A and B are shown apart, each in its own frame.
Chain A
Amino acid sequence: MAAPMLELKGVRTAYGNIEALKGVDLDIREGEIIALLGANGAGKTTTLCSITGLVPPKSGSIVFDGQDIRGARTESLVRKGLIMVPEGRRIFPGLTVLENLKMGAYLISDKRAISQDLEYIFNLFPILATRSRQSGGTLSGGEQQMLAISRSLMGHPRMLLLDEPSLGLAPIVIRNIFDIIRKINRENGTTILLVEQNANLALMLAHRAYIMTTGLITLSGTASEFLNDESVRKAYLGG
């Protein structure tokens, strides 16, 4: 079996004196979709921020592509293809849709690649093409989520870290977004680490899943195991 693309071992992260991660272990192989589930405050977002260097961990190891990246600068990880779509989408409100997309390609210097990527994005989400001159802050929640994912694709991700992509969206929009995530995974081979509150939805999409409780991974298995396990369903998936 090939070495995992991303491997966390004993990762501990703290905000001041409050330890949010108490030794997280998880691994992701290339091409997988992994769901990271758990209640509010379990440490899911902190796990993503620890990986991307936004909140540098205190100890443990994070290995991406065979290199220890713990404490590396966020922009150097973006360059390696480790790209995060943060919770709440964080569109630059005063930049146009097109500028938001170009920000996603900030580290790409090949102009032709950028215009090809734009064409690909506008095919994927035609609504973004019609709104390309509008400022990002004027988009609806669903459009902003499309833009956030598109912006991350502009940076040529090899692994996408998606934080709560369904948050605050209508069910029909969520289905559309999840279809696109599956498509990105299948067609581009992009590995995906998905943090979700909506566990049922995430398990339909993911290959494997981890469940976090108060800063630790407490359960892991394949998505179908979770979906079929009566006790897991009761405890985590609302029956």
Chain B
Amino acid sequence: MNFFLDLFMSGLTKGSIYALIALGYTMVYGIIALINFAHGEIYMIGAFTALLASMVLGSLGLSGWGLLLSVAAIAAVYSAMYGWTVERVAYKPLRGSSRLAPLISAIGMSIFLQNYVQLAQSPNFLVFPDLVPQIDFLAPVARYISRTQLVILLFTVFSMVGLTVFIKFTKMGMAMRAVAQDQTMARLAGVNIDKVISATFVIGSILAALGGVLIGCSMRQISFYIGFIAGMKAFTAAVLGGIGSIPGAVVGALILGFAESFAAGYVSSSYKDVVAFIILIIILIFRPEGIMGQAQTQKV
């Protein structure tokens, strides 16, 4: 039973981090029907920014929750700037061209950012500091949930609630939904599409950066390559849940997290990715639009 609970918690936290990344894929796809392959790199840059910020702020004497929160905030802002710039440089000039052009440009951006971090930082794994403070009240249940896992869940839940409130109740959130549903009509209502697209990239990047901080805290090591693998997984999660659907991305990410965790525990850790992708294939055979995606109806 304890073993099951361990696997459950590790699947839940892994799924949470996938969800934070997957939201960026699904939101961008919902708005401009582009798979932003550089999104995993934004997550990786978030982790690196957190590492550098924690060294600087730590040497300035900051510690505990203050350190963790300010590191997360700096990573979020920095990644947001990267996300914004990537869209301006690599996607906006290609708007209105064929659908393949921005896709290629996204892959190029992804390779560029990976190599840039590899050269500017390190080609090796770097040790990530333990940023999560001791949580005393967790002592009695420490066997079931670690402080890092608790922090991952709290960050994720707050992000999801924040995102939902933003999308449902703010003017920009409403404009995002409108642009996702009918871009031409949104323009006719006076929406500046470019601003909405930029905002989408910024929000997706903030969430990915938080994912990067959390993965650093939980794995305790990062490299320039982590964005590629996590990006693939999160993209899979977004497709699984139905790309374009925000709740779908979360559901897909949790399914993927649990599948990996249980497969690693009960089958073999070398088979965890196999099981995850078998689930993807099975779901896509029976529901090609994903779990919560809407079936595309072709107009004749």
Main secondary structure on chain B at its contact with chain A? helix
User: Which A residues are in CB contact (< 8 Å) with B256?
Assistant: none
CB pair B174–A52 under 8 Å, yes or no, is no
CB pair B184–A79 under 8 Å, yes or no, is no
User: Which B residues are in CB contact (< 8 Å) with A93?
Assistant: 181
Q: How far is the CA of A102 from the CA of B175 in the complex (A)?
A: 10
User: Which B residues are in CB contact (< 8 Å) with A79?
Assistant: 190
Q: Which of A73, A90, A106, A107 contacts B184 (CB 8 A)?
A: A90
User: Which B residues are in CB contact (< 8 Å) with A84?
Assistant: 188
CB pair B189–A94 under 8 Å, yes or no, is no
CB pair A95–B177 under 8 Å, yes or no, is yes
Q: Does A57 contact B (CB under 8 A)?
A: no
CB pair B174–A75 under 8 Å, yes or no, is no
Q: Does A122 contact B (CB under 8 A)?
A: no
A-B residue pair count with CB separations less than 8 angstroms: 58
User: Which A residues are in CB contact (< 8 Å) with B175?
Assistant: 103, 106
Q: Does B178 contact A (CB under 8 A)?
A: yes
Q: Which residue of A lies closest to B175 (CB)?
A: A106
Q: Mark B167-186, 1 if CB is under 8 A from A, else 0.
A: 00001001101100110111
Which parts of B179-201 form the interface with A (CB within 8 Å)? Answer: 181-182, 184-192
Q: How far is the CA of A86 from the CA of B186 in the complex (A)?
A: 11
Q: How far is the CA of A107 from the CA of B188 in the complex (A)?
A: 11
Which parts of A51-108 form the interface with B (CB within 8 Å)? Answer: 52, 54, 73-75, 78-79, 83-84, 86, 90, 92-95, 99, 102-104, 106-107
A-B contacts, 13 of them at CB < 8 A, read: A54-B184, A74-B190, A84-B188, A90-B182, A92-B181, A92-B186, A94-B177, A95-B177, A95-B181, A103-B186, A106-B175, A106-B189, A106-B190
